[in-house]
Amino acid sequence: MLLFFEQCLNGLQLGIMLFLMSAGLTLVFGIMRVINLAHGSFYMIGAYVGATVASSTGSFLLGIVAALPAAACTGMLVEWIVLRRLYNRDHLDQVLATFGLIMFFNELTRIIWGRQPLFMDVPPWLNHGVDLLPGLTYPAYRLAVIFVGLSVALFLWLLFSKTRLGMQIRAGAVNREIVAALGVNITLLNTLVFGLGTLLAGLAGVMAGPILAVESGMGESILILTFVVIVIGGIGSIRGALAGAILVGMVDTLGRAFLPTLFHIFFHSTNADAVAASLSSMGIYILMAVILVWKPRGLFPAHS
């Protein structure tokens, strides 16, 4: 039972990471109608800048402080130079261009930082276990990730439902021409939305730094999961992104954790391990298929 609870926490933590990534991606996709494959690159930039600053100053917080504007500024620069030309083009052109951006950023990090993965440590004040229940110790750092992620979700909800900016962004998603005609600078709004999305990706990246290897191409592995999340959640919906992310995190983690045990009960063969491994890595895609059959536009479609 304790193990199940711990695995749920693990799933929640993975889900939160995915939420930070997919919140930005779903905004860009839903509002600007751009498929941005390069979203993982901003995650990578956040991690690299964070790791570099944290190791040279010795302060993890300074690492975060540096990573966020780095990711956001790179994002806005990319929007200004590349994506702005793609809004009225075909999705295929967008995929091609942003795929090129992935390669560009992967090579760029290799040129600047070299091929060797960077080292980033958990800050000492979070490098201990927290006794949640008797017999259940959970790393403080992962709890902090969960906390930050939930705070971001709250902040986004407030931003979108309570502020004027949020209202303009939502309106822009429904009909950009009308919003522009009402005197809102939609171009600037797009740049800001893109900057916000990449800022969140950078935050996810820098928080993943102490847990993962900070290396060139690290964004691609999380990008695929992120796309699954926004398809499940409904494209353009922050609420959907949160629900989808936690669902995907849970299914992936619990599948990896308990399928092998489950298979050993039913099959006594040595193949049980391999079958369970294959099936648990398929789990989230099966989930996606089932949800799309049930709700073709995702759990919380944005413009219903």
Partner 1 sequence: MKKYCTILLACLLATPVLAAEPVKIGMVTTLSTKAGYLGEDIRDGFQLAIDQEAGKLGGVAVDLMVEDDGRKPEKGKQIAERFIKKDKVQILTGIVFSNVAMAVVPKVVRQDVVYLSTNAAPSKLAGKGCNSNYFSVSYQNDNLDEVVGKYVSEVGHKSVYLLAPNYPAGKDHLAGFKRFYNGNIAGEVYTKLGQSDYAAEIATLRAAKPEAVFFFLPGGMGINFLKQYSQAGLSKDIPVYGPAFSFDERILKAVGPAALGVKNGSQWAHDLDNPANKQFVQAYQKAYGRMPTLYASQGYDTARLIGSALKAVSGDLTNLEAFKAAVKNADFESVRGNFSFGTNQHPVQDLYIREVISKDGGFTNKTVQKVFSNHVDAYASECKM
Query: Which residues of the chain form contacts with partner 1 (CB under 8 A)?
Result: 3, 6-7, 10-11, 13-14, 115-119, 121-122, 127, 129, 137, 139, 141-142, 208, 210-218, 221-222, 253-254, 256-257, 260-261, 273-274, 277-278, 281
Cα 275 to Cα 262: distance, rounded to the nearest angstrom: 11
Decide whether 215 or 297 has the Cβ nearer to partner 1.
215
Decide whether 169 or 222 has the Cβ nearer to partner 1.
222
Q: Which of 1, 5, 35, 41 is nearest to 21 (CA)?
A: 41
Instruction: Tell me how far, at minimum, the Cβ of 277 lies from partner 1, in Å.
Output: 4
Instruction: Tell me how far, at minimum, the Cβ of 219 lies from partner 1, in Å.
Output: 11
CA dihedral 225, 242, 216, 94 (to 10 degrees): 70
Q: How many helices (H) and strands (E) does the chain have?
A: 11, 2
Decide whether 282 or 292 has the Cβ nearer to partner 1.
282
Per the CB < 8 A criterion, the answer to whether 20 and 152 are in contact is yes
Distance of CA 54 to the CA centre of its chain: 22
CA dihedral for 280, 282, 288, 290, sign (positive or negative) = negative
Decide whether 192 or 211 has the Cβ nearer to partner 1.
211
Decide whether 159 or 279 has the Cβ nearer to partner 1.
279
Q: What share of the chain is helix, strand, coil (3-state, %, to 5)?
A: 75, 5, 20
Decide whether 119 or 267 has the Cβ nearer to partner 1.
119
Instruction: Tell me how far, at minimum, the Cβ of 293 lies from partner 1, in Å.
Output: 25
Instruction: Report the relative pairing of strands 136-139 and 129-133 from DSSP bridges.
Output: antiparallel
Cα 251 to Cα 209: distance, rounded to the nearest angstrom: 23
Decide whether 122 or 167 has the Cβ nearer to partner 1.
122
Interacting residues of 178 by C-beta distance below 8 A, sequence separation 6+:
171
One-letter amino acid identity for 96? Answer: L
Q: Which of 1, 37, 10 is nearest to 145 (CA)?
A: 10
Instruction: Tell me how far, at minimum, the Cβ of 43 lies from partner 1, in Å.
Output: 11
Cα 303 to Cα 33: distance, rounded to the nearest angstrom: 13
Instruction: Tell me how far, at minimum, the Cβ of 280 lies from partner 1, in Å.
Output: 8
Instruction: Tell me how far, at minimum, the Cβ of 117 lies from partner 1, in Å.
Output: 4
Instruction: Tell me how far, at minimum, the Cβ of 119 lies from partner 1, in Å.
Output: 5
